[in-house]
Amino acid sequence: MKKVHVKSYGCQMNVYDAERMADVLAAQGYEETPSVDDADLVILNTCHIREKAAEKVYSELGRIRENKAVRARQGLETRVVVAGCVAQAEGAEIMRRAPVVDVVVGPQSYHRLPELLAARNRDAAIDIEFPVEDKFRALPARRNGAEGRNVSAFLTIQEGCDKFCTFCVVPYTRGAETSRPVAALLEEAKRLVGLGVKELTLLGQNVNAWHGEGPDGKTWSLGRLLRRLADIDGVERLRYTTSHPRDMDDELIAAHRDVPQLMPYLHLPVQAGSDRILAAMNRRHTADDYRRIIDRVRAARPDIALSSDFIVGFPGETDADFAETMRLVNDVRFASAFSFKYSARPGTPAADREDQLPEDVKSARLAELQAALERDRIAFNQAMTGRVIEVLVDRKGRAAGQMAGKSPYLQGVHFEAPEAIFGAVAVVEVLEATAGSLRARYLGVKGASALGGGAFHQASAAPYSGAAQGIANAT
């Protein structure tokens, strides 16, 4: 059997796309290999969001070229595909600079991989169109993947972006905003549950802008879709990412109050705390708009873990602007966050501004911001100590006898437990917050009779409904 190795960079949607490429290639007789050395086909699924992305791809291609030469001496052929957002942005330039590449394919065309691999000339082996045909319709059904994938899976519901924040390449690499139809999503979700998946993470560059015609003929929003997905037997947990503040509507906020399967976690990028910078970024909301949304979300789900993305050093950002970002962070207290130095992306409006900031200013601001975010992350995790929470067990722990998984708040949790609970929702008591995860004591499996659920019910009926306010809704 031929082997394919897919190396994915960047966001979760790339992880999803990588899996779907493997689905396409499985139908062509390829099996996945975790090692690049024994791969007959290597796919680099690239990311273009920040600087040096393209350079990284070219140096990786250099390594692959050496690898290919080694394999060639053993009489083995290696073919190379560059996919993802760098492929979309660079197109034929990749073929020119790196002759080792056989196929260049953008994020909207990878369902055509078999044809592209069979192309007779290099021009025909490039596809960076935004085709009218629906890639999703052309893709084969989801298959069983690697072990962990069968517990928690991504499901792309929306792609592209029409918001045009002035720093961002996404509207150019992923194209216009499109939503997948309800029926297709329900079908894919049911298929995944049939494979044993317990947790679905709905993906989109602007996931809360998703809308589609429901079976009732009405236009559904994400809140409505989440309710419908929660009705599917076997869907234990739902998450969605990434959202834009402007699309946080009442129905979605209400879903956080009403849908027990919807996990108390919200990634809602704000990028900056200064209204002047937010306007220059074309975010079309103010810092106070954001605070008000957070207040409404917290009113709906008081224990929700909030997460965000930040950019420091956007062109023209003053000390006073940056102080506003720090003030927002100190007001909201995020459970987790990603923060970046502004990086000028070719073709985006902000890249052409003349008031770019020096690197050392950006670095100093990033360090200050990250220290505050880290303080809040640790505080959030430490506040979990003593609480009884549910953990979806999706892997073995690092040490022997340990199992691990995710809390409702997306924290990693590890504890000693029998291997048989893989894929189940475990109930645990948090003992301690360590640097990267929570250490816990296993109490039992949620609602199960076969795996010691009875013991759990005796041991912790009271704390489960009381101390664990975070999962009060989830039961």
Binding residues for [4Fe-4S] cluster: 11, 47, 85, 161, 165, 168
CB-CB contact of 104 with 122 (8 Å)? no
Token digits for 277? Answer: 């910078």
Applying CB under 6 A, does 240 fall inside the site for ligand 5AD?
no
Among 20, 267, 345, 377, binds ligand 5AD (CB under 6 A): 345
Helix, strand, coil share (%) of the chain residues, nearest 5: 40, 20, 35
In the list ligand 5AD, ligand SF4, none, the entry touching 210 (Cβ below 5 to 8 angstroms by class) is none
Q: Which is nearer to ligand SF4, 23 or 309 (CB)?
A: 309
- Residue 345 binding result from ligand SF4, ligand 5AD, none, given CB thresholds of 5 to 8 Å by partner type: ligand 5AD
Binding positions for ligand SF4, 312-351, rule CB under 6 A: none
| Complete DSSP assignment for 115-174 | HHHT-SSSGGGEE----SS-HHHHSPPP---SGGGGTEEEEE-EE--S---TT--HHHHT
Q: Which does 356 bind (CB under 5 to 8 A by kind): ligand SF4, ligand 5AD, none?
A: none
Place of tokens 């020096």: 358
> Quick one: which segment of 57-65, 127-135, 145-153, 339-347 binds ligand 5AD (CB under 6 A)?
339-347
The three-class DSSP label of residue 249 is coil
Q: Least distance from C-beta 120 to ligand SF4, angstroms?
A: 37
Query: One symbol per residue from 177 to 216: x for binding ligand SF4 (CB under 6 A), - otherwise; what is it?
Result: ----------------------------xx----------
Give the helix/strand (H/E) hosting 32. Answer: strand 30-32
Which range of residues in 126-134, 215-223, 335-343, 423-431 is near ligand 5AD by CB under 6 A? Answer: 335-343
Residue with tokens 């209204």: 275
CA–CA separation, 418 and 179 (whole Å): 41
Range 28-57, binding ligand 5AD (CB under 6 A): 49-50
Phi and psi for 186 in degrees, rounded to 5?
-65, -40
User: Is residue 342 a contact point for ligand 5AD (CB under 6 A)?
Assistant: yes
User: With CB cut-offs between 5 and 8 Å by kind, which of ligand SF4, ligand 5AD, none does residue 161 bind?
Assistant: ligand SF4
Stretch that binds ligand 5AD, among 104-112, 138-146, 336-344, 409-417 (CB under 6 A): 336-344
CA 136 to chain centroid: 19
Q: How far apart are CB 244 and ligand SF4 at their closest, in Å?
A: 5
Closest CA to 409 of 262, 299, 254, 224: 262
Count residues near ligand 5AD (CB under 6 A).
Answer: 12
Structure tokens at 50: 């920040």
**Could you give the angle at which helices 182-194 and 222-230 cross, rounded to 10 degrees?**
30
Is the Cα dihedral 362, 367, 371, 376 positive or negative?
positive
Residues 122-181 that bind ligand SF4 (CB under 6 A): 161, 163-165, 168, 170-171
CB contact at 8 A, 350 and 323: no
The answer to whether residues 215 and 206 touch, using CB atoms and an 8 Å cutoff, is: no
Residues that bind ligand SF4 (CB under 6 A): 161, 163-165, 168, 170-171, 205-206, 244
Residues that bind ligand 5AD (CB under 6 A): 49-50, 167-168, 269, 271, 309, 311, 340, 342-343, 345
